[in-house]
Amino acid sequence: MTDGTISAVQQQERRGGRRSNVYLDGRYAFSLTTELALQLCVGESISDARHAELVIKDQQARAYDSALHFLGSRPRSEREIRDRLARHEYDAYVVDRVIERLRRIKLVDDAAFAAYWVEQRATHKPRGARLLKQELRQKGVSQDVVTEALPVDDDEDGAYRAAQRKAVSLRALDERTFKQRLGGFLQRRGYGYETIRGVVGRLWTETGGGESHDDDENL
């Protein structure tokens, strides 16, 4: 049981003052975020029910801060945030309240997240529609949202950029081996047959496939 009269509220120096200790009847009782603790007054009576209410609010505040920190590096899907908070052992009620708060300020929005993910892949690590779909589904994005975010067809320009460096490393091979290996490379990145065929043929021509490049090495 935790009930009594608040005799002191003291900030914790070791945590930069972000948390405060609450003392009841001269003895340490519990800690809260300093923001919550500032709402308490010395001489105020704390019942078990009031203490339970404060604990829930404290958990929500800590979970919210944890979620904001997690979002600091890049946008996240709702599933990613839920999984992160669950690993920190916040209960389901607390997690739901945090997600609701993040939705209100548009920090949780799976449609925006999916659009961001597709754009980042296209810019930095081109992937085919099949693999993009798999990645987004693994992050908990719904099928409808994924379908809306993905282009109707593969991005052939993205496939071309993804395969350029690999094509150079394969340029000494015969045509059949070149196309098999480069095609497999693009297939593993989620591109479809028609896109692969066009890109592989283009790169075979552009790299001068099968030609000797010994003279280049002696330049």
Q: What are phi and psi of 140, to 5 degrees?
A: 85, 10
Count Cβ atoms within 10 A of the Cβ of residue 71 and give its class: 0-12 exposed, 13-18 middle, 19 or more buried.
Answer: middle
Residue 156 above 70 pLDDT?
Answer: yes
* Residues facing residue 33 across a β-bridge: 19
Q: In terms of C-beta distances under 8 Å and separation of at least 24 residues, what long-range contacts does 135-140 make, across chains too?
A: 136/77, 139/77, 139/79, 139/80, 139/113, 140/77, 140/78, 140/79, 140/80, 140/82, 140/110
pLDDT averaged over the chain?
89
Q: How far apart are CA 218 and CA 46, in angstroms?
A: 84
Q: How far apart are CA 47 and CA 29, in angstroms?
A: 12
φ/ψ region of 69 (left if φ > 0, alpha if ψ in -120 to 50, else beta) reads alpha
pLDDT at 214: 45
Residue 145 above 80 pLDDT?
Answer: yes
Residue 154 above 60 pLDDT?
Answer: yes
**Sorting pLDDT into bands at 50, 70 and 90, what band is 193?**
confident
Q: What is the CA radius of gyration of the chain?
A: 28
Portion of the chain with pLDDT greater than 70, in percent:
93
Q: What is the mean pLDDT of residues 20-26?
A: 94
Whole-Å CA distances, 41 to 47, 112, 141: 14, 43, 45
Whole-Å CA distances, 65 to 10, 18, 49, 91: 21, 11, 25, 15
pLDDT at 82: 97
Residue 100, C-beta contacts closer than 8 angstroms, at least 6 positions apart: none
Residue 153 above 50 pLDDT?
Answer: yes
pTM: 0.73
Q: Which of 86-90, 173-177, 204-208 tops mean pLDDT?
A: 86-90
Q: Are 32 and 60 in contact (CB under 8 A)?
A: no
Residue 1 above 80 pLDDT?
Answer: no
Residue 219 above 90 pLDDT?
Answer: no
Name the CA dihedral angle for 143, 123, 165, 155, rounded to a multiple of 10 degrees: 50
